[in-house]
Amino acid sequence: MEYEEERQRLIDSLREQGIGEKVLEAMNRVPRDLFIPKKLQSAAYCDSPLPIGNKQTISAPHMVAIMCDLLEIKKGDIILEIGAGSGYNAAVMAELTGPEGKIYSIERIPALGKFAKENLLKAGYDNVTVIVADGTMGYKEHAPYDRICVTSAAPSIPEPLVEQLREGGIMVIPVGKYMQRLLLIRKQLDGSIEERDCGGVIFVPLVGKYGFHIHE
Ligand code: SAH
């Protein structure tokens, strides 16, 4: 396979950063070069975000790794992702759930929804469904979710997402305006929420009813 050496080097550096073996194995199986525009393909295995059009970016590999690690994804999990973008993060999560799991990934920008769908098809992931909609509303159709992964920055935690998280479920979400805190949310069995601050991060904004409001 092309880029095998580059990918192995990236995985080794993520291991040194403390990422768990399960997530490393999953990332080692996903060809990131299939999820970025052709002209950037040679940079696919650099640990940095890359532009994917419409002012959006594919997250840096270490960010995907950290979020997937925090989510403690298990085989068979039903996952909601907000912000499909390139589809890469969804593909890594699909490796972690296995074919018995399912990822619903919501994307606000139609052109990127199409991009994510095409990339996932090319890479052979058929347990990811991409939906073009406002993800701040969640996706009631298949709730509750075992895990929710929000890949853009919210002004605060959107209420519908808390409602649609299963009791015992885990959500990761960057919260804040310019620089954000990555929050790990655990919904207890009594429905209450436990919150942990996992450090400073920078994401593109979550735009929508329960997100930021912008004028385009
Ligand atoms: N997970 C992606 C990262 C994409 S960047 C990847 O692996 O490539 C974040 C994405 O969130 C952008 O594509 C942006 O358009 C999308 N986004 C922003 N607000 C949104 C909303 N309310 N609903 C769904 N997607 C949203």
**What phi and psi values does residue 124 have, to the nearest 5 degrees?**
85, 25
Choose which residue among 47, 54, 67, 82 to substitute to test ligand 1 binding: the one with the highest number of ligand atoms within 8 A of its C-beta. 82
Choose which residue among 33, 125, 151, 213 to substitute to test ligand 1 binding: the one with the highest number of ligand atoms within 8 A of its C-beta. 151
List residues near ligand 1 (CB under 6 A).
Answer: 56-59, 82-83, 85-86, 88-89, 106-109, 112, 134-136, 151-152, 204, 206-208, 211
Q: Which domains can be identified in the chain, with CATH numbers?
A: 4-201 (3.40.50.150)
The one-letter amino acid code at 98 reads: G
pLDDT tens digit string along 41-53?
999 999 999 999 9
CB of 128 within 8 A of CB of 90?
yes
Can you tell me the distance from the alpha carbon of 167 to that of 192, in angstroms, rounded to the nearest whole number?
9
Choose which residue among 204, 213, 214 to substitute to test ligand 1 binding: the one with the highest number of ligand atoms within 8 A of its C-beta. 204
* Ligand 1 centroid to residue 159 C-alpha, Å: 18
What b/e string do you get for 123-150 counting C-beta neighbours within 10 Å, with b at 16 or more?
A: bebebbbbebebbbbbbeeebbbbbbbb
pLDDT score at 94: 98
Catalytic residue status for 42: no
Q: Which atom of ligand 1 is nearest to the CA of 206?
A: 19
CB atoms within 10 A of CB 106: 23
pLDDT score at 198: 98
pLDDT score at 5: 94
Instruction: Give the pTM.
Output: 0.98
For residue 86 the two structure tokens come to 């390139």
Is the backbone of residue 59 left (phi > 0), alpha (psi -120 to 50) or beta?
A: beta
Can you tell me the distance from the alpha carbon of 17 to that of 60, in angstroms, rounded to the nearest whole number?
14
Out of 13, 42, 48, 59, the active site residue is: 59
Running along the chain, 216 residues long, what does each successive block of 10 average in pLDDT? Answer: 91 98 98 97 97 97 98 98 98 98 98 98 98 98 98 98 98 95 97 97 97 85
